[in-house]
Amino acid sequence: MKIVGIFGGTFDPVHRGHLETTRHVYNTLGLDHVRFILSARPPHRAPPVASVNHRAQMLRLAVEHEIGFMEDQREQQRLGPSYMVWTLRSLRAELPQQPLALLLGADAFLGLDTWFCWQQILALTHLIVLPRPGLPLSESTDTWYRDAVSTHVSELERASVGRVYICDTPLIDVSASAIREKIGADEDASGDVPDAVWAYIQQHGLYGCPVHPKHKHAV
């Protein structure tokens, strides 16, 4: 069975690093589809800068016309912290037989063992790891994931949970925090996000972006 990809994030804002790496995984591993899940109330980090509503609108603009990508609003609709283990339990209940794979950037993957009920996460899904610039993934033998690594995607299709696949995605040196800083410093970050997301940031004056004159009357 084809793998369903799950890509969770704060998406504050969604950017090229999220979209291009996920597109690469979708195409090269032949995923069934990828669900982008907005972490409405992320428990493992400082509160987001933009509201849930703004982040959700930007995510929608980024994925709505993309083949194979879809939004999944379950963390917005649920009360309480956006624990990934709860999200995976509800997805697993809907898709009992399908191999699921949680896509994680290297930073998130390397911090996974601090997440709420992290070992249960591996009992609910596979992991697909996306390398990030400056974050080499350890090849040493004492990592918790040593015995879980698969080098062939067919192993993820056969087993339904518990494998770790390190995907050779392009390194994209973009992060949401760098985008917020650029905008705050009045630098151009338009190339880091889809055009529609950039227009939304300008229209709503997010992250200290001056509201573009053509939108002033609409705000």
Name the residues that contact ligand ATP, by CB under 6 A: 9-12, 17-18, 21, 104-105, 107-108, 130, 132, 172, 174-177
Q: Which is nearer to ligand ATP, 110 or 153 (CB)?
A: 110
Q: Which is nearer to ligand ATP, 137 or 212 (CB)?
A: 137
**Residue of minimal Cβ distance to ligand ATP:** 105
- Shortest distance in whole angstroms from residue 98 CB to ligand ATP: 21
205, two tokens: 């004056």
- Shortest distance in whole angstroms from residue 133 CB to ligand ATP: 7
Q: Which is nearer to ligand ATP, 73 or 212 (CB)?
A: 73
Q: Which is nearer to ligand ATP, 13 or 216 (CB)?
A: 13
89, two tokens: 């339990």
- Shortest distance in whole angstroms from residue 218 CB to ligand ATP: 27
Q: Which is nearer to ligand ATP, 21 or 160 (CB)?
A: 21
- Shortest distance in whole angstroms from residue 214 CB to ligand ATP: 28
Q: How far is CA 150 from the centre of its chain?
A: 21
Q: Report yes or no: 68 and 34 within 8 Å, Cβ to Cβ.
A: yes
User: Among residues 79, 93, 76, 65, which one has the least CA distance to residue 9?
Assistant: 76
- Shortest distance in whole angstroms from residue 48 CB to ligand ATP: 8
Q: Which is nearer to ligand ATP, 27 or 158 (CB)?
A: 27
Q: Report yes or no: 148 and 122 within 8 Å, Cβ to Cβ.
A: yes
- Shortest distance in whole angstroms from residue 211 CB to ligand ATP: 23
User: Among residues 177, 176, 199, which one has the least CA distance to residue 17?
Assistant: 176
